[in-house]
Structure 1
Amino acid sequence: MADAEVRAATPADAPEIARIQLATWRSAYGELLPPEVLAGLDEAETAQQWTEALSDGPTTVLVAAEGDWLVGFCVAGPAPEQEAAAADGAAPADLATVALVSTVLVEPRWGRRGHGGRLLATMAQRLTEGGATRGISWIPEADSVSQAFFEHAGWVPDGTVRTLDAGGRPVRELRLSGPLDLHLHHHE
């Protein structure tokens, strides 16, 4: 494998982040999302949204690279109260130190090379340095690959679920919660 690294994303990375996001969604979520939703995703518009988020967004965005190629990204920040709330809507006692990992995506052709683990571990370290003590992430219930990835990192479903409307098709998501002192192992 060529040199692999994880670094902070810059606005110049926006077009590649958008390309990775759309390619991965089309590949990984083709069964989950309606075809018209996936077909309606515009790369230029998505890149512009990423440029804005990277220029003045409140979140941290990291990218994974292998050699000269960007291969994945991770987005996280403080968890909004509605994302971290218990099923009954009550805010958790540790709300001020809960981080939301909203995205960990690695383009499928670069998968199984440790990039996702490096992204999550690096993000967890940065979140811890910023005062976070616990992480959460919402994963489609049908996405067993992402669930297994997070469970490998010690994150487990915490019993909270939600249903989103994805172009008229309901998508049920599980909230996973876990520690930020990650001990990921790379399997060859």
Structure 2
Amino acid sequence: MTDWRIAPLTANRVTELAACHIASWREAYDELVPAHILDGFDLERSAINWERRRAAGTHRLPIALAGDCLIGFAAATAGRSTSPVAELEALYVRSAWHGTGVADALIEAAAPGSPCTLWVFADYPRAQAFYRRHGFADTGDRRTDPFTLLPEQLWRREPG
């Protein structure tokens, strides 16, 4: 499957992004995140939150499209003079598109070669291997994710 492209998020695709986000969570985390959390997503509320980010212009929000279907997206804060380190807040690709290069293209579009951090679930080796391949390394910092209450690790990529 190589018939896909990367595009910026537009207002008319925000609800589709929210639906992709919810579906991707359910596909990726079905054995990690408790079912009541995965079942509790609200499409309308999620779309409102994503539209806020899009409208504020504080995030790079590339989406991946296969034909006219949104199959993945990323969200990263842009590095600023006060904090040149970007944060990759989201990177999700529908499971049917795993291994096709879509996630690689999304991470490059969201945080192109910049110093970057992200939080990854401590018990999710698939994501850790992906981020390691993209130059990220575990910093040793830990926290509990406020949404799932699962342990997370802070990873960082240096430029170059």
Q: What TM-score comes out, normalization by structure 1 length?
A: 0.77
Task: Kindly state the Cα deviation for residue 30 of structure 1 after the two structures are TM-superposed.
Answer: 2.0
Cα RMSD of the aligned pairs, angstroms, is: 2.1
Q: 2: CA distance between counterparts of 1:39 and 1:176? A: 28
Q: 1: CA distance between counterparts of 2:159 and 2:69? A: 27
| Percent identity (aligned) | 26
1:120 alignment partner in structure 2: 107
Q: What is the one-letter code of the residue matched to 1:113?
A: T
2:140 alignment partner in structure 1: 159
Larger mean Cα displacement after TM superposition, 95-104 or 152-161 = 95-104
Q: 2: CA distance between counterparts of 1:120 and 1:166? A: 23
1:77 aligns with 2:92: no
Q: What is the one-letter code of the residue matched to 1:174?
A: Q
In the alignment, structure 2 segments of 5+ residues that lack a partner are none
Task: Kindly state the Cα deviation for residue 78 of structure 1 after the two structures are TM-superposed.
Answer: 4.2
- Cα–Cα, structure 1 residues 78 and 32, in superposed 2: closer, same or farther, change >3 Å? same
Q: 1: CA distance between counterparts of 2:154 and 2:45? A: 28
Query: Given that residues 34 and 166 in structure 1 are in contact (C-alpha distance below 8 angstroms), is that contact kept between their aligned partners in structure 2?
Result: no
1:141 alignment partner in structure 2: 122
2:156 alignment partner in structure 1: 177
Structure showing greater radius of gyration is 1
In the alignment, structure 1 segments of 5+ residues that lack a partner are 81-93, 182-188
1:100 aligns with 2:87: yes
Q: 1: CA distance between counterparts of 2:37 and 2:119? A: 20
Q: What is the one-letter code of the residue matched to 1:171?
A: L
- Cα–Cα, structure 1 residues 6 and 102, in superposed 2: closer, same or farther, change >3 Å? same
- Cα–Cα, structure 1 residues 95 and 32, in superposed 2: closer, same or farther, change >3 Å? farther
Q: 1: CA distance between counterparts of 2:144 and 2:49? A: 24
Q: What secondary structure does 2:83 align onto?
A: helix
Task: Kindly state the Cα deviation for residue 66 of structure 1 after the two structures are TM-superposed.
Answer: 2.1
Q: 1: CA distance between counterparts of 2:43 and 2:83? A: 35
Task: Kindly state the Cα deviation for residue 24 of structure 1 after the two structures are TM-superposed.
Answer: 1.0
1:85 alignment partner in structure 2: none
How many aligned residue pairs are there? 160
Query: Given that residues 20 and 94 in structure 2 are in contact (C-alpha distance below 8 angstroms), is that contact kept between their aligned partners in structure 1?
Result: yes
Task: Kindly state the Cα deviation for residue 43 of structure 1 after the two structures are TM-superposed.
Answer: 1.2
Task: Kindly state the Cα deviation for residue 74 of structure 1 after the two structures are TM-superposed.
Answer: 0.4
Q: 1: CA distance between counterparts of 2:22 and 2:28? A: 10
Query: Given that residues 88 and 111 in structure 2 are in contact (C-alpha distance below 8 angstroms), is that contact kept between their aligned partners in structure 1?
Result: no
Query: Given that residues 63 and 119 in structure 1 are in contact (C-alpha distance below 8 angstroms), is that contact kept between their aligned partners in structure 2?
Result: yes
- Cα–Cα, structure 1 residues 151 and 95, in superposed 2: closer, same or farther, change >3 Å? farther
Task: Kindly state the Cα deviation for residue 16 of structure 1 after the two structures are TM-superposed.
Answer: 1.2
Task: Kindly state the Cα deviation for residue 2 of structure 1 after the two structures are TM-superposed.
Answer: 4.7
